[in-house]
A and B are shown apart, each in its own frame.
Chain A
């Protein structure tokens, strides 16, 4: 019944914010925030861009492809950065993996 804890982010994972973590633009303070139980986090622009691509359909590889194309940057470097960032978020309990069923 319980969702998986301690997920390990790889190129093939399809991460998504869990239902209790909500990415939202705070119109009052003009910043993006992640709302979570008893927490409000302020991710930076890159993190926001990555998280917006994490829809539970794209895998980490797809996300990196897209960012590499957009910024004309080496894919491997982007991929490494994205994994580190998402793993950090997962370790804090603010990231989960999409279930096996592909929507």
Chain B
């Protein structure tokens, strides 16, 4: 079977592309294997690097239970195999058990991506009974002080540890998701040990990616080059030591890379997500790019039509939209010019080369700026909330 099961590189950032790589029929604009469902933007936590857009969808705009059920049925019908229930905090929706049950009934593999702080043991048990297949819990650190400060939520860390324990007691597989940045990277060895103690199967060491909220907080979060090198060393050592016990996925912040990441596996190639209000998006940050109209599941179009034909998905698909230096670059089909949202946020034009790329004329300036910020004294967070953010009191000059 070793030559039958495709080898999964441990450092792949888009591991769900495994099937595509081995079966050309599903490649390139075939319906993605997994879809991210951001069923609400409501969340009790206020993490300063939240991946939600700065303009959050209010609860009144959220799809109803019936609308989500229709979406789930449609996804299963067109060939999606897995769904991630995410947010915001997905457990903030009262109908989550019903949605998971429906997803299971139509044959979808279900993941819960949660902060865990709203869960009770009974609720988790109900979710397991409804067919939930996997739980991913985010951690902000290893001890109350820092973890609760980053999340902007008192006693959150303790609750997470408790829910992680229930998860394993209910025989659900557990992934620990640790978002890393300058202020918590020193805790990485302890986070790895915590994951083992919690009997997690996987650990995601995800360095912050700087869009949206995180871009606003870049000065407080950006790690130094030395910190990042140490982080990589620790991950590599742990992977070797924990083979067969704990799988570790690793995402580096792309500011310090020479080549940009193949963001989302390429725009509109193997990923889409659905926002709380029902917008079908090529990536969870896509709404930050102004001038693109995203179709909704509430429109007259099917999800498959939106994926294949909508203007927003086709705008940056493939390589036809590229300008120099991407246009004639030998890597253009490898990284597809990096991340469109980052290109837009940092250059004002999503069709420009992502400045994470060393070939971008802006790379040097932005790298230097990040380096200065990493060495700086700004540790204060701008917390994520519906009011456009609240600045942390104290913590630096």
Contacts and interface: CB of A to CB of B under 8 A. Distances in A.
B173 interface: yes
Interface stretch (B23-31, B95-103, B279-287, B356-364): B23-31
Given A26-B81, A37-B173, A93 B1 contact: no
Contacts of A35: 81-82, 109, 133
Contacts of A33: 19, 81
Interface stretch (B4-12, B45-53, B314-322): B4-12
Interface stretch (A2-10, A53-61, A63-71, A72-80): A2-10
Interface in B17-50: 18-19, 22-23, 25-26, 30-31, 33-34
A19 interface: yes
B6 A37 contact: no
Interface stretch (B164-172, B223-231, B339-347): B164-172
A37 B4 contact: no
A35 B33 CA distance: 10
B18 A42 contact: yes
Interface residues of A, number: 36
B100 to A, nearest CB: 14
With most chain B CB atoms within 10 A of its CB, the pick from A3, A39, A88, A89 is A39
Interface string A1-26: 11101100000000000111010101
A81 B19 CA distance: 24
Given A29-B25, A35-B81, A6 B244 contact: yes
A60 to B, nearest CB: 14
A2 B196 CA distance: 11
A91 B6 CA distance: 14
B103 to A, nearest CB: 12
Contacts of A5: 244-245
B16 to A, nearest CB: 6
B168 A88 contact: no
A92 interface: yes
A38 B286 CA distance: 22
A84 B169 CA distance: 30
B244 A91 contact: yes
Contacts of A46: 4
User: How many B residues are at the interface, by size bracket?
Assistant: 35 or more
A37 B175 CA distance: 8
Nearest to A93: B201
B14 to A, nearest CB: 10
Contacts of A86: 1
Contacts of A37: 111, 133-134, 136, 173, 175, 201-202
A5 to B, nearest CB: 6
Contact of B6 (A24, A26, A42, A47): A42
A91 B1 CA distance: 12
Given A29-B30, A40-B16, A88 B1 contact: yes
Contact of B168 (A2, A41, A47): A2
A19 B133 contact: yes
B31 A84 contact: no
Interface string B163-201: 000001101110100000000000000000000000101
A88 to B, nearest CB: 5
B376 interface: no
A102 interface: no
A70 to B, nearest CB: 18
B247 interface: yes
A73 to B, nearest CB: 17
Given A38-B34, A39-B16, 6 more contacts: A22-B109, A33-B19, A35-B81, A37-B134, A38-B16, A39-B8
Interface of A: 1-3, 5-6, 18-20, 22, 24, 26-31, 33, 35, 37-44, 46-47, 84-86, 88-89, 91-93
